[in-house]
Structure 1
Amino acid sequence: MIALDFGFGALEHEFWRLLFVMTRIGAALVAAPLFGISSVPPQVRVIGAGAVAVLVCAWTGVVVPPALFSLAGLLAVLGEVLVGLALGFVLQLSFAAPILAAEVIGGSMGMNMAVAVDPNSGTQSPALGQYFAVVLTLVFLALGAHLQWFALLVESYSTFPPGHTWLGAERTALIASFALRTFTTAATIALPVCLVLLVVQLVTGVLSRSAPSLNLFSLGLPAGILGGLAALLVSAPLLTDLVVRLSHDAVTQAAEVLQP
């Protein structure tokens, strides 16, 4: 099968089949926002990919290329990586919406000075972005969306069997179009707070103009922070609804990629 024979017969065949199946699952876990963060040890990802691969091998009839170390076999492995990265990247697009909204809100509030390391990307992000990301993660897990995503990952072996993993121009354009939903959702999350902050800044500007002795920075920054926090509290139900919709869209977008 792979031009190497260690003399273990059927057991060796199943071992290479398991490793081949783990390629797509491991790529998807690395690209996914929840399982691919830097704080998750690589050993945990390998164990998780192996556990899911055992179920896939038992539930599906995945056939390994006859010569895995040949050019055709390596192309098949690259195709597996491509499908896995695509399914994980779709989740990344959904989880990026709250971070984009936090950038806009934090810039208006003056909260961008308070930054923290984003565990998803390893880069610095506003503190509000961490808050939104935690809320989205909790809702995503509470709704069981991660289980639906794993089910779609298993289903991908029927839509894209080994050796037939080319996504094509239509699916590639579809994945790129998901970015529009990301920006739309980010604008929807940030719009109520930004409108309140705009009113606060207008009032602060009028007061500073009418009373020049008032310091604009000493008055505007605390007012912006208090107004932004009040707007976040008032818009909390809207944020919850949008986060629930984001979780649904994340799974729906992954399902759209798998549609024939």
Structure 2
Amino acid sequence: MNTLQTFFLIFTRVASFIVIVPGFSYKGMPAISKIMLSVGLALAVYPGQQELATVLTPFVFGLFIIKEALLGLAIGFVVQLIFSAIEMAGQFVDFQVGFSMGSQYDPSLGIQVSNYGRLYYWLSILLFFLTNLHHTTIRVFVRSFDDLPITQTSYNYLGTEGIVQMIGFIFESAILLAIPLMIVALLSELVLGLISRTVPQINVLILGMPMKILVSLIFMFFFLPTLISNIGAFMPKIVEMMSEFMYALGTD
């Protein structure tokens, strides 16, 4: 019985992680595929874990299930933050260019997205798999069972300062990824302002939106290799943040 309980606790953490991590939690992916992926990963993790010493009562076992689910969601949320930073960068560009007014519901993501936000997000997903970062992410997650065993019941408090630093880093990274096209959009508005002062007959309100969109698309074409390089350099932060989070959460 304790063998079954041990496996189910491992499966709970794995399934919670898979459900929230972009790339694995794609809404178009069949639920049975996610379950089988979670079961397969749990079976791979199980042999290296120490079984529960005794059979837990239903109440205590339920508390352990909640603990493992929260742990899996927390570690997965750290991974999701990196993708959110990249998508946020695209949304900053959308807002500056004017695409944010044309945002629409994306059933694959389950949120309201616009053009550049969707482009940045799918570029990050593409690099996540092309660079085999998904293998490294799973490897670091599996290590969480050594750093944070299923039998552990007490954890360190991360503190408000650590959470604020993490969120601040996400916003900073989003702005750095978006700033080239944001500058292009701002310069376009500056040019439009000069045109309106020079030729008052031109209706800048009508001309401004198509011009900013056209200019941003042209510069996006030239900036695309640099953008891919910047996103590729930023993505390994997934491993770093996961490791730091698990180290901070664990106890001696």
Aligned to 2:37: 48
Structure 2 CA distance for partners of 1:253 and 1:125, relative to 1, 3 Å: same
- 2:37 is the counterpart of 1:37: no
Q: Is the 8 A contact 1:192 1:231 kept in 2?
A: no
Aligned to 1:63: 51
- 2:210 is the counterpart of 1:222: yes
Structure 2 CA distance for partners of 1:50 and 1:173, relative to 1, 3 Å: farther
Query: Considering only aligned residues, what root-mean-square deviation do their CA atoms show, in Å?
Result: 2.1
SS in 2 for 1:250: helix
Aligned to 1:135: 123
Q: Is the 8 A contact 1:83 1:165 kept in 2?
A: no
SS in 2 for 1:117: strand
Aligned to 1:8: none
Structure 2 CA distance for partners of 1:193 and 1:29, relative to 1, 3 Å: same
Question: 1:34 is aligned with what amino acid?
Answer: G
Aligned to 1:246: 234
Deviation sequence 1:62-98 (CA, Å, 0-9, x none): 3236333433322222221122111100111000112
Instruction: Give how far 1:39 is off.
Output: 2.0
Question: 1:82 is aligned with what amino acid?
Answer: L
Structure 1 stretch 148-157 or stretch 176-185: which is displaced more? 176-185
Q: Give the Cα–Cα distance (whole angstroms) in 1 for the partners of residues 238 and 169 of structure 2.
A: 10
Q: Is the 8 A contact 1:17 1:64 kept in 2?
A: yes
Question: 1:40 is aligned with what amino acid?
Answer: M
Match of 1:155 among 143, 166, 185: 143
Instruction: Give how far 1:161 is off.
Output: 0.8
Structure 2 CA distance for partners of 1:249 and 1:156, relative to 1, 3 Å: same
- 2:139 is the counterpart of 1:125: no
Q: Is the 8 A contact 2:90 2:120 kept in 1?
A: yes
Aligned to 1:96: 84
Match of 1:192 among 174, 180, 189: 180
Q: Give the Cα–Cα distance (whole angstroms) in 2 for the partners of residues 20 and 162 of structure 1.
A: 7
Q: Is the 8 A contact 2:49 2:145 kept in 1?
A: no
Aligned to 1:106: 94
Match of 1:235 among 215, 223, 227: 223
Q: Give the Cα–Cα distance (whole angstroms) in 1 for the partners of residues 216 and 204 of structure 2.
A: 17
Question: 2:75 is aligned with what amino acid?
Answer: L
Q: Is the 8 A contact 1:95 1:133 kept in 2?
A: yes
Instruction: Give how far 1:17 is off.
Output: 3.2
Q: Is the 8 A contact 1:32 1:92 kept in 2?
A: yes
Under a length normalisation based on structure 2, what TM-score does the superposition of the two structures give? 0.89
Instruction: Give how far 1:170 is off.
Output: 2.4
- State the percentage of identical aligned residues: 25
SS in 1 for 2:36: helix
- 2:73 is the counterpart of 1:85: yes
Q: Is the 8 A contact 2:87 2:121 kept in 1?
A: yes
Q: Give the Cα–Cα distance (whole angstroms) in 2 for the partners of residues 223 and 165 of structure 1.
A: 58
Structure 2 CA distance for partners of 1:120 and 1:156, relative to 1, 3 Å: farther
Q: Give the Cα–Cα distance (whole angstroms) in 1 for the partners of residues 164 and 39 of structure 2.
A: 30
Instruction: Give how far 1:218 is off.
Output: 2.3
Corresponding pairs, count: 248
Question: 1:57 is aligned with what amino acid?
Answer: Y
Q: Is the 8 A contact 1:33 1:120 kept in 2?
A: no
Structure 2 CA distance for partners of 1:85 and 1:175, relative to 1, 3 Å: farther
Aligned to 2:6: 17
5+ residue gaps, structure 1, are 2-12
